Every structure is written in structure tokens, then in C-alpha cells.
Structure 1
């Protein structure tokens, strides 16, 4: 995923996944066999009360340049458009914002913190709500922006990421979004949790199925 001389922009939301990824990529610089640079970028959605001071301090400790991009996502989505499905639009707008911010910082690689559970949930959501078999890829090249998106934590279970965040006492930013916990993804997460009680190991098997099909982009990492 990482090539010599890459300038990697880590998308840091303040959640456990992005902070663990930031810590890992920052630490790996010391012993990874090829040189690369790391920066952190946060897309501030403009939610009242949401602060990133703790992340700024963490980046200083890690010697990682940090950029906060101010946006009006909250106002546009919840106050102007009053979206009934806010997460979809928010995700699209945040992606566009971080792509632009990375290019502006001369970072041609963007690292996102999706874990194994996220991939399985996305696979199941595409089947339930869209009637297709689809999921984001481990590595995606975006030709319009000339940037490559990588997901280094994609093979890591969420419980392991959570444990790492806890053991390192990372400064998790509380998400005050009014849609948090009341989304299609949360519903699917809880559904998978219930299914796992009936058929233990279901997430591992579903994750494996994406490689065995394989889905587009997954054949490279089989």
C-alpha cells in the first residue's frame, strides 16, 4: 500500500479507528523499510461543541503536521436541506473535502481507518438497501484527483482497534452528530451482532467471501 516517498494524508475524524491508524503510521516511520511522510487532516463538519484540541496535541507529540478544514456540512445537511438520510450526503461531501485538502497539501495518498467490521457492514448494506454485492476496496486510485486511497486497517477486527485505542489512551472525540447511533449502518451493525450469536464467526466468513468471489479490487490482496 505504501511506496517510497509517499506523502500520506490520514483522514482523522477523532474516532478510535482514525486515531489508531494515525498512531500506527506515525510509529512505522521509524522502522519501515522505505521512507514516507505522514500528515493528518480533519474535516470539521461544523457541529456545535465539537472540538479537536486533543488531536492537535497528539499530532504535536507524534511530530505529524495537522490540518483542520472548516466546513458547513452540519448547517447544509441538517438546517438547510433537512436530509432524511444525512449520512449518505455527509459521507460524499466529506470525501470530496478530504480529497481536495490532501491534493492542496501535496499528499497523493489518503489513508482511511475502515476496519474489517466496516467492510462487512458495507457489504451487507449494499445487499439490503441497494440489491447489489459491493464494498469499498483496500486500495482505490481516483484518477480525477490523481490520489490513491488506502485502508491499512481493513483486515483488523473492530474489537482489536477498540482495544488498541483503550490501551494507548487515545483522545477520542465525542461525536455530537444528531444522527449518531440512529443510522442504517448502526442497524446493520446490531443485526450482525445478533446473527453472530446464532452463527458465531459470521463476520469472518462474510469477510472471506469478498476475497473468494472476489469483489472488484479485492483480487489484488487475496
Structure 2
């Protein structure tokens, strides 16, 4: 529709072409260049505009089971890739369709994340860490956690309510970053 972005259509068309070419070349694995910021942006886009707690995993099997999709840059910050590309003098080919569209939600979400990071350093790393530390029993998806079948057992559970958990210091999946969990 007029005034709407074409991102989802463009994405589907690109993916269809990639699958077709992979099939022609008899390949069953596709490596895509999504980075950490793409992963977070997609998560928030799905939450804000799709009503789903959903993102992009670093590895998944295509819907038809024919291809493995991998994202080897999933843990790399966009800013690091920008600096690396400049250092190596890689040509950057912008998508003029995306950049020229009004109402681009991905751009707005990206700006929101950058602003949060500027005001609260470390927030991006914490949000990315949260995508890797999901506690289904503390969300509301009955398909992931059987709330209606819950019973009092009198036995402590690792999935239990830990409102006042002790602080944990653990290594992040990102080199040089220490994550503080509460």
C-alpha cells in the first residue's frame, strides 16, 4: 500500500532468489550477513509491530527443511563492521530503495537502540545477552510453559520466582564484555 515500506517484500524476494540459486548450485547452506544490531532491531520490530517475541537466530533450518541458514556475524556489533570495512576499504553498496523510503521502522528502531546505548552504555550488550538467556516460565506463552498445569510441589525449582536473586558475574558471549545479572 502507498506510504508503506517494501522491506518484507524485498526480503522475501531476496530470500527466494538465494534459495533458488543455492538449489541450482546444489548448496544446502546459506550464510547471511546479519550482525548483532540487526538481530536486536528484528527482535524489537517483531515485538513492536508484529506482536511476537521473535528474532533471528544465528542458525536455523529453512521452513521447507531444505537449507541451513547461518549468520556468522550475529555476535558482531555493526560499528565494528563499519570500522573494519573502512579499514579494509570494502565498497559499501547501499540499498537505495530502503534508504529512500519514509516510515522505515527498522531505521527508527535502530535510532532508538543507538540513543539508548548513548544514554546508557552497555544496554545493547545487556539486551543482546537477554536474547540468549530466556526464562520461558516468566513469560506468558502457554505453549512454552504449561501455566494451567502448575501445581505446588514444595520443592525448590530452578525455574521458580527469583525476584531477589543474588548478583552473578559471568562472561559475556562478546569478547571483553562482562555481564552483570541480577
Note if 1:169 corresponds to 2:89: yes
- Tell me the equivalent position of 1:158: 78
Larger helix percent: 1
Look at both structures and tell me which one has the larger radius of gyration over its CA atoms.
2
TM-score by length of 1: 0.56
Using a 3 Å threshold, how does the CA distance of structure 1 residues 89 and 191 change in structure 2: closer, same or farther? same
Computed over aligned residues only, the root mean square deviation of the Cα atoms, in angstroms, reads: 2.3
Note if 1:142 corresponds to 2:29: no
2 CA distance for matches of 1:178 and 1:89? 12
- Equivalent residue runs for 1:65-76 within 5 Å: none
Note if 1:117 corresponds to 2:37: yes
- Tell me, which stretches of 5 or more residues in structure 1 are unaligned? 1-80, 217-221
- Equivalent residue runs for 1:5-154 within 5 Å: 84-142=4-62, 144=64, 146-154=66-74
Following superposition, the deviation at residue 108 of structure 1 comes to 1.0
**SS of the counterpart of 2:112?**
helix
Task: Tell me if the contact between 2:5 and 2:101 (Cα under 8 Å) persists in the aligned partners.
Answer: no
1 CA distance for matches of 2:117 and 2:62? 35
TM-score by length of 2: 0.68
Following superposition, the deviation at residue 113 of structure 1 comes to 0.3
Note if 1:193 corresponds to 2:125: no
Task: Tell me if the contact between 1:196 and 1:202 (Cα under 8 Å) persists in the aligned partners.
Answer: yes
**SS of the counterpart of 1:137?**
coil
2 CA distance for matches of 1:101 and 1:82? 31
Following superposition, the deviation at residue 85 of structure 1 comes to 2.5
**Deviations 1:144-198 (Å, cap 9, x if unpaired)?**
2611100000000111111111111112224322654641100000011111222
Query: How many residue pairs were aligned?
Result: 137
Following superposition, the deviation at residue 84 of structure 1 comes to 2.0
